[in-house]
Structure 1
Amino acid sequence: HIHCSPYCIMASSLCRSSPKLTHPGRCRFSGSHSGRSSSSFRRIRLLCKVRCKAVEKPASAPSSPSSSSSDVAAAEDPLDGDDVDLDDLVFADALTGVSDKDGAGATMVSPDWLTSLQRNWGGKADLPVADAKVDDIAELLGGGLFQPLYKWMLESGPVYLLPTGPVTSYVVVSEPSCVKHVLRSYGTKYIKGTISEAGKFLFGVGVALAEGEPWKVRRKAIGPALHRKYVEVMVNRVFGPSAIKMVAQLEDITQSNKPVVDLETKYSQVTLDVIGKAVFNYDFDALNKDSPVIQAVYTSLKEVETRATDLFPFWKLPEELNYVISPRQRNAQDSVKTIRNVTDELIEKCKAIVAEEEAVGGAEAWAEQYLNDADPSVLRYFLAAREEVSGEQLRDDLLSLLVAGHETTASVLTWATYCLAKNPESLATLREEVDRVVGDKPAPTYDDLRSMPYLNRVLCETMRLYPQPPVYTRRAIVDDQLPTGESIPAGQDILISIYNLHRSPDVWGPTSNDFNPLRFGPLDEPPPNETNTDYRYVPFSGGPRKCPGDSFAMMEAMVVLAVLVRSIDFELIDIDKIRMTSGATIHTADGLNARVSMRQQ
């Protein structure tokens, strides 16, 4: 059918089966989902169904009292009995609510818009427009936004327009001087915008997504908590013991009948244990028992990403209504509740301990104990500082550290392991350095880390290829002009694609997609950052909103990776089939499954 065939093609791409047109104005699908997102598949089927019903019947099928479109529709409905939730109904509702200027019944997401986005853009003639094809939309629905953004950059250049509806759009930025300009202009020309709105249900008033004056106040409070002495203590007291515990478990697995393990899961567990001790002085013991926090964090972050790119923001409906009639929203809200309950419980436990210690030794004595690093957790730092903040503010700040600090480092370790498995010569070089510097010690010390530049570069190169997160959002608050000349009106949303920037052939040359830890220069030079690369490399963002925990995250990853490679050999299963997906950070689609064995010296 002329009006719905693009949707049939899209659904075919999603389920890898050929659509069968059974009637004019009707379409039906066969075949399996083939691992694609069932919700995406269901939406495309619903889209086809609604689209076919919304258009006039073709001349080849004249209406008659005995053969109406409703009669045909009733004959066989592939969606009958499907569990269609609010997400789908709102999606379908919007599709049938907009007609084109000729009154032909075109929907908000019409074939014209899906296959030629440029037709719906009436401004910004100086910007090339992403030429999104059906396959790109299918990939977007089934995977991560960052992947089609890269394809469009190669086609359209480092600054282009991505329309997301009849009147909405993103300007996608992947050029170093433009990235530098936008990131450094936070607060004067740009704010976080879309991501702050989409993530408020999770982060609340916490520092991660706060804007304006509240952000300035919270950033000033949190920054000193992550001081150098704190990180040094974490290396010896938390990072090392946690990594040793993880590797001990892997050693046990090597002796089992089936020495196969999902290393991505192990990294999520160990980084949760680390962040629990570092922020709350609490041991989640995630390595030994299932923690609901890990899945809750992933689900919540995935929802943040989905909300930020949803064509129809149905999530803005009242939470109570969403909870009742939308399974996805119910799952997201339950996940946030899990994280908040854990955070609240840990805060109350710490307050009770502090109150007891103060009763015994006095407030001044307790503060001195903190300064002597008896317990350098971030929570105790806040309590020692006697900050006048609400319980909600304290919880949301700590929740921000818990969620962001756990998920990102686990993803970096996952992809570092993948890169080393694909590049055995780099793994051999790394092991030589770790053996030489660490020696017989069970884990590297703070001083050892400063003597392992190749380990640092392995992680830097991993974050170049797999930045966490791969995309930042900003919104212009004044009219602006990018260094490359493009005009940005106030209110325009920006996608800063770090994934594009870090893999751009224009920036990194023909080997931009290759793993090469030595690409940043001699090992005796400072490691790369946004300043000394002039914003060609920004894994921790830049400008006022640069991640305050960059040193913490880097040293945690260095310790865990060093302890792993000096003891364990790993062979990734079906390494060439490992695919990327995203839930705010870049994950594997099916885990990082590996055969592990004791390292052969």
Structure 2
Amino acid sequence: MGKTGMRLRPALGRSMGGPRRAATRMSGTQTDARDQVLDEIPVAGEGTKTMKRTGTSALLVEESNKNSVLDDVLGALFQVGGKLIFPNDDAVVAVGHLNDLIGDFPLFIPLQQYFFRAGGVYKLSFAPVSQATFYVISDAAAVKHILKENTFSFDKGLLAEILEPILGQGLIPANIETWKARRPVVQPGFHLNWLNRMSITFNECANVLSDKLDKAHEEDEVVDLENLFNSVSLDIIGKAVFNYDFGSVTRESPVIKAAYACLKEAEHRSTFLLPYWNVPVLGSGETSVIPRQREFAMHLKVLNDKLDQMVKEARTLKSEADLEALEKRNYHEMEDPSLLRFLVDLRGGDCDDKQLRDDLMTLLVAGHETTGSLLTWCAFELAQNREEMLKIQKEIDSVVGDGEIEFDHIKQLNATRLALAESLRLYPQPPILLRRALEDTELPLSHGGEDKSTVGADGVMQEKTVKLGKGANVFISVWNLHRNPNLWDEPNKFDPSRWAGRKEPFSDLTSWKGYEPRENPGMYPNEVDADFAYIPFGGGQRKCVGDQFAMMEAVIILSKVLQKFDIQLAVPPEEVGMSTGATIHTRAGLKVRCTPRNK
């Protein structure tokens, strides 16, 4: 029978007895008092040891109202579900509440509250059925087991079911057989020669953004940097993947409106665990009784029609070649250097138009969301850490001067790359990865020492292994993993320098090797360097195909902005909230002033 912890109630949210808006705020490091707001918190696996949530990005939350009778009844039902579903798994059972899912706060926050009490792997059940029962994973060894060592023992499960109507069989939601067929075709398109050419596109789009910031300064305007970063990311994806100029930084169009509507719906579905859009009695698409779904169907048709048009036009100009020849093309002289052109021309990479459209739609959604959010939160942190911003600007002045950020500059912009890497640790994009077990498996845990089990701060016994049954749904909480105090020193602190040297594992970690920077570092510290305690782009064979592209893009955009401007928050940092999407967004934009630098 699964072990049941004490009743775990997140310290935020709305009680079932009455509405209450939760305040999820962010704090910076400039005011020492902010570091003292929260009391010390228990950390599972550390016995009586406590950890204070201090430093940059510590989350401040309000205590919830007292539970209502209905809330208690639902909590008891959820506890029963945790005991009945996969009863012999040796997992700690955390007691869930319905308003944990529907409250006015990011989903990953209550999952973190449970983690502090229940440990690196726990079971959370919202009903006594397997579809509503989830294993929440925040342990590096367990994550490595799922993503790397047993890649094909898990599929995307719930995520694939949610996103299939939008992304079809693109790489993210694809079943294993489709993924095995398409990944070897898509991945070579991100080759070094092409990335070199794309650095020019990144600069061109970043220059449009810079002009926009110049104009805003001249008119003494506060700008929403989150919106602008999302727009420039969309423009880059359009040019790089489709050879299409969205021009969303400077204009609007039906295609742009449709693209954003589809992106928003993809986010909505990825965080809404009750798929009402699949209920037959409610209809679907343009016949749905739900206005939101009818509107989405209209936008999806506009975008799909545009993608179909691009695919057909690309096929009419097909110039078939093998992979080696495509990699040696002079992309600097090509009128169409897009990834679509590569996929169409690649000999042996044939697929039908629908599959190619699915591939393109997936790259659009994934490529837009991650980069825009990464840049937003990096700017948020740098605006509160003046010394880090100055370090980056000094490096840009030394390496680049006032010119364009060339491909060969990127590896030399070390401070910029590490600031972005640290932002991805604090604000992972996405904060949660979904998987489903295709067979029985046993998860190892990093924490445990010499004994058979560990004791959480609330007295819960945590086994050193947890059994997952076939069909088990898994939440890999990247947010928890990246802020796990059993793995990281001062886990809530924005500290890019942490990536410069080795991080030794704590003595009682039995299977985590620590972090070891490479002698010749890549574009960013990766999951192998950190032994899966850091997975900004996932890991294993199903790792994000565009990780190098995304980091290059982010380095160039951020460098182009800081080359010319200082960033100041236009609102107090504690007023910048978070909302859950496919990635982590602010609640109402990142309002800043961008002031030209005095060089």
| Cα displacement (A) at 1:294 | 4.8
Q: Structure 1 residues 491 and 133, CA, compared in 2 at 3 Å: closer, same or farther?
A: closer
Q: Structure 1 regions of 5+ residues with no counterpart?
A: 1-6, 17-33, 36-106
Distance (whole Å) between structure 1 residues aligned to residue 89 and residue 354 of structure 2: 46
User: Would the aligned equivalents of 2:568 and 2:593 in 1 still touch at CA under 8 Å?
Assistant: yes
Code of the residue aligned with 2:558 in structure 1: it is L
User: Would the aligned equivalents of 2:277 and 2:293 in 1 still touch at CA under 8 Å?
Assistant: no
Is the aligned partner of 1:482 residue 2:482?
Answer: no
Q: Which residue of 1 aligns with 2:378?
A: 416
Q: Structure 1 residues 422 and 297, CA, compared in 2 at 3 Å: closer, same or farther?
A: farther
Q: Structure 1 residues 321 and 546, CA, compared in 2 at 3 Å: closer, same or farther?
A: closer
Q: How does 1:392-431 map to 2 (within 5 A)?
A: 392-431=354-393
Tell me which moved more, 226-235 or 378-387: 378-387
| Cα displacement (A) at 1:110 | 6.7
Q: Which residue of 2 aligns with 1:564?
A: 561
Distance (whole Å) between structure 2 residues aligned to residue 293 and residue 582 of structure 1: 21
Bigger radius of gyration: 1
Where relative contact order (Cα < 8 A, 6+ residues apart) is larger, the structure is: 2
Distance (whole Å) between structure 1 residues aligned to residue 326 and residue 482 of structure 2: 45
2:586 is aligned, of 585, 588, 598, to: 588
User: Would the aligned equivalents of 2:440 and 2:468 in 1 still touch at CA under 8 Å?
Assistant: yes
Q: Structure 1 residues 505 and 369, CA, compared in 2 at 3 Å: closer, same or farther?
A: closer
| Structure with the bigger percentage of helix | 1
2:537 is aligned, of 526, 537, 540, to: 540
User: Would the aligned equivalents of 2:100 and 2:107 in 1 still touch at CA under 8 Å?
Assistant: no
Distance (whole Å) between structure 1 residues aligned to residue 14 and residue 497 of structure 2: 47
Partner deviation per Cα, 1:271-296 (whole Å, 9 max, x = no partner): 11101110111111111102214522
Q: Structure 1 residues 494 and 451, CA, compared in 2 at 3 Å: closer, same or farther?
A: same
1:194 is aligned, of 146, 154, 158, to: 158
| Cα displacement (A) at 1:587 | 0.6
| Cα displacement (A) at 1:392 | 0.4
Code of the residue aligned with 2:216 in structure 1: it is I
User: Would the aligned equivalents of 1:13 and 1:138 in 2 still touch at CA under 8 Å?
Assistant: no
Distance (whole Å) between structure 1 residues aligned to residue 266 and residue 494 of structure 2: 27
Q: CA RMSD in A?
A: 2.7
User: Would the aligned equivalents of 2:14 and 2:103 in 1 still touch at CA under 8 Å?
Assistant: no
Secondary structure of 1:508's match? coil
Q: Which residue of 1 aligns with 2:189?
A: 225
Tell me which moved more, 342-351 or 500-509: 342-351
Identity of aligned residues (%): 34
Is the aligned partner of 1:112 residue 2:73?
Answer: yes
Code of the residue aligned with 1:488 in structure 2: it is L
Q: Which residue of 2 aligns with 1:49?
A: none
Q: Which residue of 2 aligns with 1:300?
A: 265
Distance (whole Å) between structure 1 residues aligned to residue 353 and residue 76 of structure 2: 49
Q: Which residue of 1 aligns with 2:494?
A: 515
Distance (whole Å) between structure 2 residues aligned to residue 203 and residue 451 of structure 1: 36
Q: Structure 1 residues 499 and 572, CA, compared in 2 at 3 Å: closer, same or farther?
A: same
| Cα displacement (A) at 1:552 | 0.2
Distance (whole Å) between structure 2 residues aligned to residue 457 and residue 324 of structure 1: 47
Code of the residue aligned with 1:590 in structure 2: it is A
User: Would the aligned equivalents of 1:292 and 1:338 in 2 still touch at CA under 8 Å?
Assistant: no
Distance (whole Å) between structure 2 residues aligned to residue 152 and residue 489 of structure 1: 22
User: Would the aligned equivalents of 2:226 and 2:589 in 1 still touch at CA under 8 Å?
Assistant: yes
Code of the residue aligned with 1:158 in structure 2: it is G
User: Would the aligned equivalents of 1:408 and 1:468 in 2 still touch at CA under 8 Å?
Assistant: yes
1:464 is aligned, of 419, 425, 436, to: 425
| Cα displacement (A) at 1:11 | 5.9
Is the aligned partner of 1:242 residue 2:240?
Answer: no
User: Would the aligned equivalents of 2:569 and 2:591 in 1 still touch at CA under 8 Å?
Assistant: yes
Q: Which residue of 2 aligns with 1:24?
A: none
2:551 is aligned, of 541, 551, 554, to: 554
User: Would the aligned equivalents of 2:241 and 2:340 in 1 still touch at CA under 8 Å?
Assistant: yes
Code of the residue aligned with 1:384 in structure 2: it is D
Q: Which residue of 1 aligns with 2:18?
A: 12
Distance (whole Å) between structure 2 residues aligned to residue 461 and residue 363 of structure 1: 40
Is the aligned partner of 1:502 residue 2:482?
Answer: yes
Code of the residue aligned with 1:380 in structure 2: it is R
User: Would the aligned equivalents of 2:225 and 2:590 in 1 still touch at CA under 8 Å?
Assistant: yes
Is the aligned partner of 1:287 residue 2:284?
Answer: no
User: Would the aligned equivalents of 1:433 and 1:454 in 2 still touch at CA under 8 Å?
Assistant: yes
User: Would the aligned equivalents of 1:415 and 1:462 in 2 still touch at CA under 8 Å?
Assistant: yes
| Cα displacement (A) at 1:573 | 2.2
Distance (whole Å) between structure 1 residues aligned to residue 500 and residue 326 of structure 2: 44
Q: Which residue of 2 aligns with 1:91?
A: none
Q: Structure 1 residues 130 and 497, CA, compared in 2 at 3 Å: closer, same or farther?
A: same
Code of the residue aligned with 1:571 in structure 2: it is Q
Distance (whole Å) between structure 1 residues aligned to residue 377 and residue 148 of structure 2: 28
Q: Structure 1 residues 15 and 464, CA, compared in 2 at 3 Å: closer, same or farther?
A: closer
Distance (whole Å) between structure 1 residues aligned to residue 118 and residue 244 of structure 2: 49
Q: TM-score, normalised by structure 1?
A: 0.76
| Cα displacement (A) at 1:156 | 1.1
User: Would the aligned equivalents of 1:572 and 1:593 in 2 still touch at CA under 8 Å?
Assistant: yes
Distance (whole Å) between structure 1 residues aligned to residue 493 and residue 257 of structure 2: 36
Secondary structure of 2:567's match? strand
Code of the residue aligned with 1:378 in structure 2: it is L
Q: How does 1:152-163 map to 2 (within 5 A)?
A: 152-163=114-125
Q: Which residue of 2 aligns with 1:254?
A: 217
Q: TM-score, normalised by structure 2?
A: 0.77
Q: How does 1:24-423 map to 2 (within 5 A)?
A: 111-114=72-75, 117-121=78-82, 122=84, 123-124=87-88, 126-132=90-96, 137=99, 140-167=102-129, 168-235=132-199, 237-256=200-219, 258-290=220-252, 291-307=256-272, 309-310=273-274, 313=276, 315-317=278-280, 320-321=283-284, 323-352=287-316, 354=317, 371-373=329-331, 374=334, 375-386=336-347, 387-423=349-385
Code of the residue aligned with 1:306 in structure 2: it is T
